[in-house]
Structure 1
Amino acid sequence: MSKQLDAWVRADSMTAARLPLLCFPHAGGGGLGYRSWSQGLPAHVGVWPIELPGRESRVAEAPFRRIPALVDALVEALSGHLDRPYALFGHSMGAVLAFEFARGLRRVGGRGPELLVVSARRGPTVYEVQPTRLHDRPDVELVAYLRRLGGTPREVLDDPAMASFVLGALRADFEMLETWAYTPELALDCPILAFAGRSDPHAPATDVARWRELTTGAFELCELPGDHFFIHPERAAVLERIGAALDRPHP
């Protein structure tokens, strides 16, 4: 394992004999929540939680503020380790990162994923008339937004010191999303599995379904109970569908 790879993927999650499932975090999140996912997936699938600068074990590093720069760094670090079957998963912001990572690998002649799984994110072709601008809002407004969104433990938001710590990476992630614009390219050729929460106002199923426009391969939309962070209470169902999709033969 190279030093570059070790910086982005937890060393204890790496198994050379398994099909890697690279898991990209939501805004402000890290790889910690993905480390137990292997228990719910087929034995040949190894979970690679992607750790971004500015959080968890990389908290001392400056976070990225532009998606193209982050994708370039990821491609440089990981492309040499993905010359075998692999899959990508991303929740919310992570869906954008996984999608752009797949396209970045293609631009350097890398192997494409066996499967792209996107969760709680509108298709990139959905036009937002007034994109939400959050990265430069005052702390109190960001905390209020996070309370409405869910997904961040209440005890973290109730503690000013802990909240301030979390908001650093979150602001950088929001800035990445708010300065990113979808650029049309050739569609991917891998299957896309998309998840939507039935009560998610930020990524309704009709908008999540627009991911079908980004591939010439198979597309499947799976709606599950819950809001934007349905993957926590519905984790078993999410992993079951991912496992079934990875076990399915693809042309």
Structure 2
Amino acid sequence: MLVLLPPSETKAVGGSGAPLDLDLLSHPELTPVRAKLVDALVDLAADVPAALAALGLSERQVGEVERNARLRGSPTMPALARYTGVLYDALALDSFTRAERARAFGRLAVASALFGLVGGGDPIPAYRLSGGSALPSVGPLGALWRPALEPVLAGGGFVVDLRSSPYNSLARVPGAAVVRVVTEGEGGRRVAVSHFNKAHKGRLARALVKSRAEPGDLRALARVAVRAGLRVEVTGPATADLVVGAGG
């Protein structure tokens, strides 16, 4: 099983790992595109106004550009520790036992605009680049990533796709199980949750890590979720709903 998580705009600072070494990341077939994007992002950081414009940042966020300028020499930490925000708060990596942490690194991967796909334990630095960005020297990221990333994701066995739309556009995953977060109203009508969507996805990812059993299909995933107190219902051959309370 491979669970695809969305990244976060915010990243934890610092780290105790050695500087970025692309050869240490999972899926070495992605290294040429990763190297091209690292070079492009570092070069862009030399022109602060252009970098702010390309990354959709304000002048108050110039620190993000400075972080990109230091990309090659910054310390690293495991990807699941690097990304922050509500999904990763709900995942609560620091609360895992050693065995659970190993399962998290084996079962969870993060979609990344810069690295394409990183395993949960891959050592990465802090950076700023979004899935919807277009860098002046390489253009839209989707056109760059799709030819390289789609073959990698096509060989992932049972894939659970929890990515957000900007990262869905970087690569298609035919046959992946897609889980919607929904509320249920009168008459059973279901509406997609937006505000707390990521928190619930984090709770589902946590349940899939905590379970010693590794689901091989959607029905097995739903059983794991139910045992963890979540309501997941299979709605189609490759779709399921994570049903949450009306308050999100």
- Settle same-fold status: TM greater than 0.5: no
Of structures 1 and 2, the one with the larger relative CO (CA 8 A, separation 6+) is 2
Task: Determine which structure has more spread, i.e. the larger CA radius of gyration.
Answer: 2
Q: Give the TM-score of the pair, scaled to structure 1.
A: 0.33
Q: Give the TM-score of the pair, scaled to structure 2.
A: 0.33
